Amino acid sequence: MSEPVRIFIGTSANGEDAECEMVYEYSIRKNASVPVEITWMRQTHDDTSLWGGWQTQMWSTPFSGFRWVIPEACGFKGRAIYTDCDMINFKDINDLINIDMEGKPVAARRGQRFGGHEFCVIVFDCAAFEDYSMPSNRMKNIPESHHRMINKFSGQPLVKDLDPKWNCLDGDDVPVDELWHVHYTDMATQPWRPAWYTGQIAEHKRPDIFNLWFDVKEEAIAAGYTIDDYAPEENFGPYNIIGK
């Protein structure tokens, strides 16, 4: 039996993104040819947890800095995938985990928002990443650690360029029937309206991409997925992030 593909997904702590989590997990498992092991990375007040005790005041999402400790969470062995939660998948995730990394520790698509690469979808070679990592017990206590890691990698030869279809930003200009992996990156136009986003609501630039999310949601519900399965067992309370 194949080893499961390890996917770490950044999401909110209090269930605000439960609806999009449900849709996203359904889409991943529907298209996967191998077992998938999903870890939802949520902030917690439990400081003994890998996801607790972080200085998050410089983060733009509830999970921004978590992605950089994924190789440590994997014991610096094998490969793992990071993604944001605001996505839907249409292509076998096994194809993504098995790309040719060319010996590099990180793979991500090219883009300009973060200085050269978009780190919303990352493939990690966990062993290769160890030499460039910062221990989680240090990262947690440095508010700008997330930005330091972006600066270390973005636009640098350390990053293998990922096919942009694996992180298709609000559909880009890709026809619906050619999509691999859609990222609803503009928070103002996200279909599920997360409560932690307090900015202005706007109309999505592509109605077909907006409506596609609802089509996949209907499929997920028909397949037995329910939003209640994605609500945290306890309410972790307010967390100190930008955007909350």
Q: What is the mean pLDDT of the chain?
A: 92
Q: Identify the pLDDT of residue 244.
A: 38
Residue 237 has pLDDT above 50, yes or no: no
Closest residue by Cα to residue 146 from 69, 208, 237: 69
Q: Please, which residues bridge with residue 24 across strands?
A: none
Interval 21-39 mean pLDDT: 98
Scanning the structure block, which residue is given the tokens 């190789």? 71
Distance CA 7, CA 149 (A): 20
pLDDT tens-digit series, residues 98-141: 999 999 999 999 987 777 899 999 999 999 999 999 999 999 99
Q: Identify the pLDDT of residue 234.
A: 55
Name the residue with higher pLDDT: 195 or 99.
99
Residue 243 has pLDDT above 50, yes or no: no
Length of the chain: 244
Predicted confidence band of residue 232 (pLDDT cuts 50, 70, 90)? low
Domains in the chain, ordered, with CATH? 5-230 (3.90.550.10)
pLDDT tens-digit series, residues 1-13: 468 999 999 998 8
Interval 67-77 mean pLDDT: 98
pLDDT tens-digit series, residues 131-180: 999 999 999 999 999 999 999 999 999 999 999 999 999 999 999 999 99
Predicted confidence band of residue 185 (pLDDT cuts 50, 70, 90)? very high
